[in-house]
């Protein structure tokens, strides 16, 4: 009795309780009534006992129905309470977004992505625009807070993060109620942040358009475990005996090569000058080692048609004269004016073709074309300043090694072919760039704090006092580091070479130790120490 009285003191609480009891397992009745599950791919679902532990989940779906809108759904009492937000949630605290309360959806809807056919309720295409967990920042029962007309939560999604208030404004009750959605001015807030600038599914990397019209599948991607072959000795000889221009038959195709005797690299310190023929020979020879880092990934090329003494240029778009068999990838998330069609280098002939374009540096994305928002490498970049010696670089690399050992995370160093060192850490393709960047930043700041005399956190080159930078910002969409086995545009043609950790102790190690003419011997002695880590789906431990 006392218990009942206490509830009566709080009229709202008892109303909520009654509503829950009378609706029982039928909170999805409205949802089901609107849909014909013979025709829609949406789940029929059922009310489920709330998850026993962990924060409740949320999903935001981008839904191109009669009108584009975003559906914000929060797990409450075994269903997804839902609002339709025409312009989508925002991180901008200066903006209020209308949110119309709609019928509860089943929890099975959390990962629903697909096409609702014409004639069905909500016909159109749906992607999981964001998902994650949330917690209440006010009250301890979401159903009660909603009944009061104010829900204060903190989202931990990939896009939607930070504190958000949902506030009922209209008088109507139930479905069609008008609410406002407002982001707090907290440390996740971001002025002018617009949902439409982030158009891909966090589950599949697809846009709504790709869900509606799945792109025609590209020619079957080569098996990543396929053994690519370098050209045979006879084929190499054929390359060597071609004139300045000629047709080389390699990798099953005829490639027209031009200006083969053009000097691209001047000599340096006892190293010979090298021609485009040498560049082509290098890329053809390392193709079996290098293609596993390139295949399935968009690539940026840096071309130096007039040699490395003349400034080169970046080529991101597929070359206009690319042959029929070229693998292309369309970036559906590209902003207007940006590169839309990228090259994907997936066979030796493609490497020969780009070398013939005098593409000296190859920079593959750290994510794949299938999951462009999910990197498979976390990159640690030790970027020396003007006063940084290579010994300093090695000191920093050893500290990273110790830290990674301690965390039981595998990675390998590679010399850049210039003055620096990078450490490549393979990760399972489930993290966002924001997550790998934060992880590398934490690790870098830990390492940097041990040797503050070597590291600057000032990002402007002129204000770094010549100190090294631990550049975690390369872990971002569209940002890339030079590929293993790529040549660098410098006299002598130095190459970026993966090394074993113990080679850091070699007194002869320097960043540009190996040039094109040294690579065959280096490979026959040491192979590629990074190769065994390709595709290793490591989890990043909390730091
Ligand atoms: Mn909808």
What are the DSSP calls for 450-497, one per residue?
A: H-TTTB----SGGGSTT-BEE-GGGSSTT---PPTT-B-SSTT-BB--
pLDDT in tens, 472-512: 999 999 899 999 999 999 999 999 999 999 999 999 999 99
> For position 427, what pLDDT does the model report?
96
Report the separation in Å between the CA atom of 125 and the middle of ligand 1, taken as the mean of its atom positions: 9
Position 185 pLDDT exceeds 50: yes
Q: Is the dihedral of CA 203, 209, 211, 214 positive or negative?
A: negative
Rounded to the nearest angstrom, the distance between the alpha carbon of 70 and the centre of ligand 1 is 7
Token output for 340: 């839309």
User: How far apart are the CA of 93 and the centre of ligand 1, in A?
Assistant: 24
DSSP 3-state of 33: helix
- Tell me what pLDDT residue 10 has: 41
> Is the Cβ–Cβ distance between 491 and 268 less than 8 Å?
yes
Residue 227's pLDDT is 81
HEC letters along 84-130: EECCCCCCCCCCEEEEEEEEEEEHHHHHCCEEECCCCCCCEEEEEEE
Q: Which residues of 4-31 are buried (b: 16+ CB within 10 A; e: fewer)?
A: eeebeeeeebeebeeeeeebeeebbebb
CA of 84 to the centre of ligand 1 (A): 6
Output the six-digit token pair for 463. 């204000």
- Side-chain-side CA neighbours of 382 within 13 Å: the count stands at 31
At residue 344, the 3 state secondary structure works out as: strand
- Asked whether residue 262 carries a pLDDT value surpassing 90, the answer given is yes
Write down the pTM of the prediction. 0.61
User: How far away, in angstroms, is 63 Cα from ligand 1 center?
Assistant: 5
Burial class (CB in 10 A: 0-12, 13-18, 19+), 233: exposed
- Label residue 438 exposed, middle or buried (CB < 10 Å: 0-12, 13-18, 19+): middle
Check residue 25 and give its pLDDT.
Answer: 53
Mean pLDDT value across residues 71-75? 97
What is the distance in A from the centroid of ligand 1 to the CA of 201? 15
For 459: left if phi > 0, alpha if psi spans -120 to 50, otherwise beta; the answer is alpha
Q: How far is the CA of 64 from the centre of ligand 1 (A)?
A: 8
In the predicted model, what is the mean pLDDT of residues 258-284? 96
Distance of CA 39 from the midpoint of ligand 1 (Å): 17
> pLDDT at position 50, please?
62
Map 33-85 to HEC letters: HCCCCCCCCCCCCCCCCCCCCCCCEEEEEEEECCCEEEEEEEEECCEEEEEEE
> Residue 26: pLDDT band by 50, 70, 90 thresholds?
confident
Spatial contact of 530 and 421, defined as CB atoms under 8 Å apart: no
Q: Residue 20 has what pLDDT?
A: 44
Q: What is the 8-class DSSP label of residue 166?
A: E
Residue 184 three-state SS: coil
Centre of ligand 1 from the C-alpha of residue 159, in Å: 19
Indicate if the pLDDT at residue 71 is higher than 60. yes
* Strands 161-168 and 150-157, bridge-based pairing: antiparallel
Closest by Cα among 367, 453, 368, 380 to 416: 380
Average pLDDT for residues 80-95, to the nearest whole number? 97
Q: Given this model, what pLDDT does residue 356 score?
A: 98
CA distance 382 to 485: 18
Q: How many whole angstroms from 121 Cα to the centroid of ligand 1?
A: 9
3-class secondary structure, 521: helix
* DSSP helix/strand/coil, 5: helix
Q: What is the pLDDT of residue 49?
A: 73
- Residue 52 pLDDT: 61
**Rama region for 295: left / alpha / beta (φ>0; ψ in -120 to 50; rest):** beta
Structure letter (DSSP) for residue 34: T
pLDDT higher than threshold 90 for residue 22: no
Distance of CA 81 to the CA centre of its chain: 30
Of the candidates 188, 168, 190, the one whose C-alpha atom is nearest the C-alpha of residue 177 is 168
Q: How confident is the model at residue 21 (pLDDT cuts 50, 70, 90)?
A: very low
pLDDT at 232: 93
Helix (H), strand (E) at residue 383: strand 377-383
Centre of ligand 1 from the C-alpha of residue 25, in Å: 23
Distance CA(380)–CA(422), nearest Å, equals 6
Ligand 1 centroid, distance to 166 Cα (angstroms): 18
Across the range 513-542, mean pLDDT stands at: 94
User: Which of the pair, 264 or 10, is modelled with greater confidence?
Assistant: 264
Q: How far is the CA of 340 from the centre of ligand 1 (A)?
A: 29
What b/e sequence results for 253-285 when a residue is b if at least 16 CB atoms lie within 10 Å of its CB, and e otherwise? bebebeebeeebbbeeeebeebbbbbbbbbbbb
Q: List all residues 6 or more positions away from 406 whose beta carbon is below 8 Å from its beta carbon.
A: none
Query: Which has the higher per-residue pLDDT, 25 or 11?
Result: 25
Give the SS3 label for residue 432. coil
Distance 338 CA to ligand 1 centre (A): 30
For residues 345 and 390, the answer to whether their CB atoms sit within 8 Å is no
Q: How far is 298 from 318, CA to CA, in rounded Å?
A: 10
| Confidence at residue 218, expressed as pLDDT on a 0 to 100 scale | 54
DSSP letter at 26 equals G
Cα separation, 495 vs 522, in Å, equals 11
Q: Which two tokens stand for residue 429?
A: 């393709």
Q: Where are the alpha helices (DSSP H) in 119-163?
A: 142-148
pLDDT value at residue 3: 38
Beta pairing partners, 377: 426
Q: How far is the CA of 373 from the centre of ligand 1 (A)?
A: 24
Helices 390-407 and 433-450 cross at an angle (nearest 10°) of 120
Q: For the chain, give the mean pLDDT.
A: 90
Query: Is 333 within 8 Å of 372 (Cβ atoms)?
Result: yes
The mean pLDDT value for 382-402 works out to 96
Mean pLDDT of all residues in 393-409:
95
The more confident residue out of 239 and 17 is: 239
C-alpha 336 to ligand 1 mean position (Å): 27
Distance 176 CA to ligand 1 centre (A): 13
Distance 60 CA to ligand 1 centre (A): 10
The CA 368 to ligand 1 mean position distance, Å, reads 30
* Interval 200-236: pLDDT, tens: 998 888 899 989 988 765 555 445 546 888 999 999 9
Which residues face 495 on adjacent strands? 487
pLDDT of residue 95: 95
- What was the pLDDT predicted at 13? 42
DSSP letter (8 states) at residue 532: G
pLDDT, one tens digit per residue, over 306-354 is 999 999 999 999 999 999 999 999 998 888 888 999 999 999 999 999 9
Is the per-residue pLDDT at 130 higher than 50? yes
């Amino acid at each position: 009795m006392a218990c009942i009285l206490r509830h009566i003191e709080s009229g709202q609480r008892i109303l909520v309780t009654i509503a829950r009891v009378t609706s029982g397992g039928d909170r999805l009745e409205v949802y089901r009534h609107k849909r014909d599950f013979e025709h829609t791919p949406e789940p029929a679902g059922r009310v489920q006992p709330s998850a026993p532990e962990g924060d409740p989940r949320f999903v935001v779906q981008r839904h191109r129905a009669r009108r584009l809108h975003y559906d914000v759904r929060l797990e409450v009492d075994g269903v997804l309470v839902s609002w339709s937000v025409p312009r989508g949630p925002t991180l901008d605290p200066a903006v209020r977004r209308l949110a119309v309360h709609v019928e509860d959806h089943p929890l099975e809807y959390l990962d629903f992505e697909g096409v609702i056919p014409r004639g069905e309720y909500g016909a159109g295409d749906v992607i999981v625009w964001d998902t994650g967990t949330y917690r209440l920042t006010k009250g301890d029962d979401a159903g009660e807070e909603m009944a009061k007309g104010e829900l204060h939560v903190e989202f931990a999604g990939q896009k939607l993060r930070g504190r958000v208030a949902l506030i009922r404004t209209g008088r109507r009750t139930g479905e069609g109620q008008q609410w406002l959605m407002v982001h707090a001015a907290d440390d996740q807030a971001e002025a002018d942040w617009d949902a439409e600038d982030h158009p891909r599914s966090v589950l599949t990397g697809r846009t709504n358009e790709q869900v509606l019209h799945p792109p025609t599948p590209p020619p079957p991607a080569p098996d990543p475990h396929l053994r690519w072959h370098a050209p045979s000795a006879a084929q190499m000889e054929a390359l060597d005996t071609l004139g300045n221009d000629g047709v080389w038959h390699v990798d099953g195709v005829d490639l027209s090569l031009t200006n083969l005797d053009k000097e691209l690299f001047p000599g340096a310190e006892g190293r010979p000058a090298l021609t485009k023929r040498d560049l082509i020979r290098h890329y053809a020879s390392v193709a079996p080692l290098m293609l596993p880092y390139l295949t399935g990934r968009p690539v940026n090329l840096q071309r130096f048609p007039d040699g490395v003494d003349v400034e080169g240029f970046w080529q991101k778009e597929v070359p206009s004269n690319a042959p029929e068999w070229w693998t292309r990838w369309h970036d559906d998330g590209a902003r207007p004016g940006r590169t839309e069609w990228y090259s994907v280098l997936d066979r030796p002939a493609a490497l020969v073709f780009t070398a013939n374009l005098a593409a000296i540096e190859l920079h593959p994305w750290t994510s794949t074309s299938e999951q462009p928002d999910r990197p498979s490498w976390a990159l640690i970049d030790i970027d020396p300043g003007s006063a940084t010696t290579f010994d300093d670089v090695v000191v920093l690399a050893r500290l990273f090694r110790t830290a990674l050992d301690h965390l039981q995370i595998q990675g390998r160093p590679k010399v850049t072919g210039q003055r620096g060192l990078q450490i490549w850490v393979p990760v399972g393709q489930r993290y966002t760039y924001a997550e790998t960047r934060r992880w590398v930043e934490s690790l870098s700041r830990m390492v940097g704090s041990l040797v503050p005399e070597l590291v600057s956190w000032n990002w402007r080159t002129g204000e770094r006092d010549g100190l090294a930078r631990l550049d975690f910002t390369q872990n971002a969409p569209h940002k890339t580091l030079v590929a293993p086995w790529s040549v660098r545009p410098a006299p002598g043609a130095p190459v970026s070479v993966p090394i074993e950790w113990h080679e850091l102790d070699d007194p002869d190690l320097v960043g540009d130790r190996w040039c094109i003419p040294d690579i065959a011997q280096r490979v026959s002695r040491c192979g590629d120490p990074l190769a065994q880590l390709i595709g290793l789906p490591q989890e990043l431990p909390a730091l």
